[in-house]
Amino acid sequence: MELPWGALLLALLSVSASSAVATLAVTAPPPAPARAPAPVTAPAPAHASPQAQDAEGLLINGNFENAPRKVNKTLIVGRHSLPGWTLRGHVEYVSAGPQPGGMFFAVPHGVHALRLGSHASASQNVSVRPGSLYALTFAATRTCAQDEALRIAVSPSLSAPADVAVRTLYSADTADTWAWGFRASSPVAQVTFSNPGVQEAAACGPLIDAVAIKELPTPYPTKGQIRPTWFVSPPRNALVWSCVA
C-alpha cells in the first residue's frame, strides 16, 4: 500500500524534530559550578603588645635614637612624644659629649639618651611569658656633681623594685652597665625607670640608654651537694658558694 506524499512528509518532519530535540538534550552544557565563598579575614587587633625591637633584645626605641615629636630645647614635651615610651615629669633628650658646666655625658649606644629629672619616669610595656626569668640590662651615668639614684620596677611581677646608686666617675668616658633580674607574672609587663629624687636640683638626674631585655634559661638542680665556704680577704669576709660533686 502506498502512503500519500503528505503523510510521508509529515512523518519525516516528526522524525527530524525528535532527533533535534534528542541532540539538544545530549549536547546541552553542564551547569556552571557554584563559586566558593570568599574567605573572611579576621580584623587585626587595634592595640598589639609591644615586642623586643631586634635580635639584641633592645626595647622599642631602647637606644633612644628615634627623636621625640616635640621638644623645648632638651626638655621633652608630651607624655607620649617619645616613640615607644610613656614619660612623666622632667625628662630631657640629651646628646653625648661635653656639656655646659664641665660634665661629660657618655652614651654607650648611639648618640642620644634620656635624662630623668627629680621624680621623673619613663616606662614601656613588653611581652613576656608568665613564670619565666628575665634580665633587664641598661646603661646609666650621673649628670650632676651630687648623689643620684635610679629606680627599676616591673609591674606586675614577682620581684620588688630596686634602687641603684649611680656614682659614675667624672673621668669615665663610658656609662656603667647594669643588669636587673625579675620573674614575670603576666603576659604583659610594664618596665619603668624612675628618679626617686635624692638629688637637690630638680633638673639633675641619671642618664639611661641601651635598654634591653633577655629571657633567661630555667635553672635546674645540679647533682651533688652545695655548701658555703668562707674566704677571708681584707677588708671584709666574702661568702662564696662551692659545689661538691
**Does residue 16 form part of some domain?**
no
Q: Is 21 exposed, middle or buried (0-12, 13-18, 19+ CB in 10 A)?
A: exposed
**Does residue 172 form part of some domain?**
yes
Phi first, then psi: give them for residue 6, nearest 5 degrees.
-65, -45
What stretches of 69-217 adopt beta strand conformation (E)?
71-72, 75-76, 86-88, 91-95, 97-98, 104-105, 112-116, 121-127, 133-141, 148-155, 162-166, 176-183, 188-194, 207-215
Residue 225's pLDDT is 62
**Does residue 240 form part of some domain?**
no
Average model confidence (pLDDT) across the chain? 74
% pLDDT > 70, the chain: 64
Q: What DSSP string describes 185-236?
A: -SSEEEEEEE----SSSSS---EEEEEEEEEPPPP-PPSSEEEEEEEEETTE
**Does residue 57 form part of some domain?**
no
**Does residue 140 form part of some domain?**
yes
Domain count across the chain = 1
User: pTM score, two decimals?
Assistant: 0.67
**Does residue 12 form part of some domain?**
no
Residue 108's pLDDT is 75
Residue 219: pLDDT band by 50, 70, 90 thresholds? Answer: confident
Residue 206 is part of which domain span?
71-215
CATH number of the structural domain spanning residue 117:
2.60.120.260
**Does residue 48 form part of some domain?**
no
**Does residue 169 form part of some domain?**
yes
pLDDT of 21 strictly over 80: no
